[in-house]
């Protein structure tokens, strides 16, 4: 146990940038930190720090030992987490950020199911289409659709996929007919989704090549997918939307899918969380329930 105590003080001194800062973090005196590291150096038979009156810097041996200590402490934390997961219920506050509409319709119901299974779990859910900084804003988990930017501070896992489809109301199709080819979209009216007035192109996968990008003619640009779907039901034009969003409207006959011979573009849905030696049990449980159920909720149940 003394050896482990010495190691933890040593690691804290390295990460704090000096003995005085480490002492403050550990609630010890600077002298106690210095003596602990001196005993560790004596036992190891080498100096770990170059000491001056103002600073301490790692020696070459100290750097090697520090890297080994980090790995050892990570193993200990992982072992504690494994034991912890076996004897404790999922609990604590789970802070999750997710796209607004997709989060409310698909993610939140699963997290609420998880909370019902674990009464000690608290949920704080953020529904926002803005990309937040998980670490800076203190979130445990984020759910994001589409391509991701590389970030070495985050770990990602694909938990589902969502497929896109083109729909229109029966009244619109009776008046304008249904497009039979992608090129025919140029002769139709579309309802576009966009942020800050910038409409997003419609994408269609092509075997062995990049997706075809189409911007059909439109008088309408909305920043809400729900509003796009409502406008499509009202007969305002064609709409390119996720299958999970339009499934109920299609079942009711309010919308009809077109261009079904063209496979719909598939977007990946990822869970992201801050990189850490130990994944909290509540975060692991949330990721697992999403990975196990989100795809079924979005594909099998919609029947499209």
pLDDT in tens, 85-119: 555 678 889 999 999 999 999 999 999 999 999 99
Tokens of 82: 């494994």
More confident residue, 15 or 299: 15
Which range among 126-135, 148-157, 167-176 has the greatest average pLDDT?
167-176
pLDDT in tens, 59-77: 888 888 887 887 777 667 6
Name the one residue in this structure whose structure tokens are 């402490």. 73
**How many residues are given for the chain?**
304
d(CA 40, CA 276): 27
Q: Is 37 in contact with 6 (CB distance < 8 Å)?
A: yes
pLDDT in tens, 12-44: 888 777 888 888 878 888 888 889 889 888 888
């Amino acid at each position: 146990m003394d050896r482990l105590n010495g190691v933890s003080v040593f690691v804290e001194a390295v990460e704090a940038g000096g003995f005085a800062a480490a002492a403050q973090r550990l609630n010890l005196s600077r002298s106690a930190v210095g003596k602990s590291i001196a005993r560790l150096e004596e036992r190891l038979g080498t100096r770990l720090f170059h000491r001056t009156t103002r600073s301490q810097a790692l020696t070459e041996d100290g750097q090697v030992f520090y890297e080994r200590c980090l790995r050892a402490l990570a193993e200990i934390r992982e072992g504690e987490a494994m034991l912890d997961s076996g004897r404790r219920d999922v609990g604590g506050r789970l802070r999750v950020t997710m796209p607004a509409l997709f989060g409310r319709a698909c993610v939140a119901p699963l997290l609420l199911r998880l909370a019902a299974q674990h009464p000690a779990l608290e949920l704080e859910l953020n529904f926002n289409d803005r990309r937040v900084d998980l670490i800076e804003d203190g979130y445990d988990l984020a759910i994001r659709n589409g391509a991701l930017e590389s970030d070495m501070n985050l770990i990602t896992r694909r938990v589902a996929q969502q497929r896109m489809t083109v729909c229109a109301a029966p009244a619109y199709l009776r008046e304008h007919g249904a497009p039979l080819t992608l090129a025919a979209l140029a002769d139709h009216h579309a309802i576009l989704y966009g942020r800050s007035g910038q409409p997003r192109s419609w994408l269609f996968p092509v075997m062995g090549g990049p997706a075809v990008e189409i911007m059909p003619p439109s008088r309408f640009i909305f920043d809400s997918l729900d509003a796009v779907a409502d406008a499509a039901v009202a007969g305002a034009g064609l709409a390119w939307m996720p299958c999970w969003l339009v499934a109920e409207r299609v079942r009711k006959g309010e919308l009809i899918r077109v261009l079904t011979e063209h496979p719909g573009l598939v977007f990946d849905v990822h869970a992201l969380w801050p990189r850490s030696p130990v994944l909290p049990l509540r975060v692991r449980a949330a990721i697992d329930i999403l990975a196990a159920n989100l795809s079924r909720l979005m594909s099998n149940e919609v029947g499209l």
